[in-house]
Structure 1
């Protein structure tokens, strides 16, 4: 049956041509954009996944910048600390040289003073963008090392790397309490708010009294006897209970001194007088020890005093100078090692983030990028199909005209 009102062949040809044109438009879009999924309407699920991954890649690019900045910050602190360590070694050499009876201690002291001044400059100058990791009052810094996405909820959390500050400052924070050394002795003095040391000489077969008052949590007591140093920091537990804080500290110091076994020296916790410690330079145990005059110093430091505070007023002729400088060298070495370890970790993390970013970018490409070889071949096939479709539609549209011959 032929009809001039309904041309089924033309409708089929038209629908086929529309499908070909739609596929051709999609292929041309892939070729022009380079993506097989360029919008949510192309494939909503793949598009959503790719956008989440793209946001992660953008975050990792920022992380790489933050890690690079963190590396530079730590590198400055490490370099300065290593240099300070070398300076402290030079000071140790001067101290050792000063032990020679024929040494010119004035010149050695002048050289040490210059080294101390240089160390102070390095401490204050070791900053990156205003952040100093080695000065007094330096605070820990937190660097975001990665972004972790929960596989179940999709929630994102920051994984951080903490850079621990190393307090190599030379300042002495004021202690809360005070201490009297030999209140009846000619060398009597009181440690003031500046935390300076107070010294005395305990002659052989004599006794020296040390009285503490007003100690509080965070205060550090440094007591030097000859070449040995005893340090105790007041804790919160020391401030609690029925005994006074001073009595607890005196008891701790007495135990440390007596355990050290210094010939002829006995530390006595005077229970009759609160907060008083007696240092007896006499052979109380009858061991036959050869007694000598004993140089003593006592220092109070407040919480937060720099680890190199001992350089403030450092004297090469002090009896405990060698012990003091050796302690500071160890502190500086430990600080440099700590900075080196965290710098290495930051470098490793930066490399990981870079590789992870590349992997995610490659994954995104496999999801949404167009296969250009396939698209090119498909374009040529569709163009051929389009031409054939147009031809078929033209033939179908001519079919009703053949009916006219029936009426001639």
Structure 2
């Protein structure tokens, strides 16, 4: 049955043309934007995933900048540490030269002083953007290290940051400054047993243990010996100010090192300093059996001190005498080892930062590739589809034109 009111052929052709035009519009949008998922309407699940990944990529770009800044800062500290090691090696050469009896030790001492001043200049200049990793004297907790943002760790919808911790390595030559604020009660920082003892021709032992290590805490022990005791009738003081990160063992080791250096420098034969590796207790023993001996201990416990530089002992190097030259030769090795350890620590940290920076770069590229696989359009496919749809559009238009002309045939029935 033919009808001039209802043209089924035209309706079918119109629907086909509308579908072709819709597909053509979608294809043209893919070609113009380069994406098959340009908004949440196109594919909400894929769009949500891609946006989350894009935010991570943006975060990793900021992390790369943080790692680049951290790498530069650590690199400055490492180069400075290596330079200081070279300067200390030069000083060692001067000290070795001073062992000769027919040399001008005063001129050698002048050269050593100049090299020492140069080390101070290197330490002062070894900063990047105001941060100096070769200075660690603050009393504030956490000041002994810096955290460099290194990663974003995602677990589902939760994200947390990760850091690379780089410890400071103090290579300054400044002496410690003891604090003035007294502790709450005696024995807060130092516990002393046998504060004074006497014996006729026997051994005398004094032990003390550091406790409650904290940044800025001042530990000071003065020993006085009478009779045959070699430490002398005047007080000999061994002090240390803790820096951030120090443990009780660090305090004990530092004081013990000062004592052993004193024993070496003064060639003590009858006085022995020993340290218990387990408890950290330092024991002073007198083995002079020729007279009654007494060792007295005075202690000072204060807070808010300023820690000494890691190379503070360099200020005590004096080769103008034979004894001084001998002592300097013994002490310089530990100073060189301190700077070597600092350079090695910074080198290790810099290597880790470089590795992390390379990884973050590759990870960012992988995420970007993944995002592209989810939302980017296949332009070769889209181009071929565009050509096909344009042909379909033309055919659908022609079909609609033919369908619209169908009622014209009914006119012939009325002639």
TM-score, normalised to structure 2, is 0.74
Cα distance between partner residues in 1 of 2:333 and 2:27 = 76
> Which residue pairs with 1:2 in the alignment?
2
> Which residue pairs with 1:158 in the alignment?
161
The question of whether the paired residues in 2 share the 8 Å contact of 1:136 and 1:170 is answered with no
The question of whether the paired residues in 2 share the 8 Å contact of 1:133 and 1:165 is answered with yes
Deviation, 1:330, is: 0.6
> Which residue pairs with 1:286 in the alignment?
none
Deviation, 1:303, is: 5.7
Cα distance between partner residues in 1 of 2:236 and 2:112 = 32
Cα distance between partner residues in 1 of 2:238 and 2:97 = 40
Cα distance between partner residues in 2 of 1:265 and 1:174 = 38
Cα distance between partner residues in 2 of 1:306 and 1:232 = 25
Count residues in correspondence: 344
Cα distance between partner residues in 2 of 1:201 and 1:118 = 39
Q: What secondary structure does 2:41 align onto?
A: coil
Identify unmatched segments of 5+ residues in structure 1.
178-193, 239-248, 259-263, 277-300
The question of whether the paired residues in 1 share the 8 Å contact of 2:53 and 2:371 is answered with yes
Identify unmatched segments of 5+ residues in structure 2.
138-142, 181-217, 243-250
The question of whether the paired residues in 2 share the 8 Å contact of 1:63 and 1:144 is answered with yes
- Structure 2 matches for 1:47-126, cutoff 5 A? 47-126=47-126
Deviation, 1:253, is: 4.1
Does residue 275 in structure 1 map to residue 298 in structure 2? Answer: yes
> Which residue pairs with 2:176 in the alignment?
173
The question of whether the paired residues in 2 share the 8 Å contact of 1:168 and 1:307 is answered with yes
The question of whether the paired residues in 2 share the 8 Å contact of 1:176 and 1:215 is answered with no
> Which residue pairs with 1:407 in the alignment?
414
> Which residue pairs with 2:263 in the alignment?
225
Cα distance between partner residues in 1 of 2:135 and 2:73 = 14
TM-score, normalised to structure 1, is 0.75
Cα distance between partner residues in 2 of 1:332 and 1:114 = 18
Does residue 360 in structure 1 map to residue 384 in structure 2? Answer: no
Deviation, 1:40, is: 1.1
The question of whether the paired residues in 1 share the 8 Å contact of 2:17 and 2:393 is answered with yes
* Structure 1 residues 334-365: Cα deviation after superposition (integer angstroms, max 9, x where no partner): 00000000101111111111111111111111
Distance 1:340 1:213, change over 3 A: closer
> Which residue pairs with 1:148 in the alignment?
153
Cα distance between partner residues in 2 of 1:28 and 1:116 = 74
Distance 1:200 1:122, change over 3 A: farther
Quote the RMSD (CA, aligned, Å): 3.7
Choose which of 381, 396, 401 in structure 1 pairs with 2:403: 396
Deviation, 1:398, is: 1.3
Cα distance between partner residues in 1 of 2:74 and 2:101 = 43
- Structure 2 matches for 1:307-346, cutoff 5 A? 307-316=310-319, 317=321, 318=324, 319-346=326-353
Deviation, 1:195, is: 11
Cα distance between partner residues in 2 of 1:107 and 1:128 = 36
Cα distance between partner residues in 2 of 1:231 and 1:14 = 104
Cα distance between partner residues in 2 of 1:103 and 1:201 = 36
Q: What secondary structure does 1:174 align onto?
A: coil
Distance 1:66 1:217, change over 3 A: closer
Cα distance between partner residues in 2 of 1:200 and 1:274 = 7
Deviation, 1:304, is: 2.1
48-57 vs 74-83, which moves further: 48-57
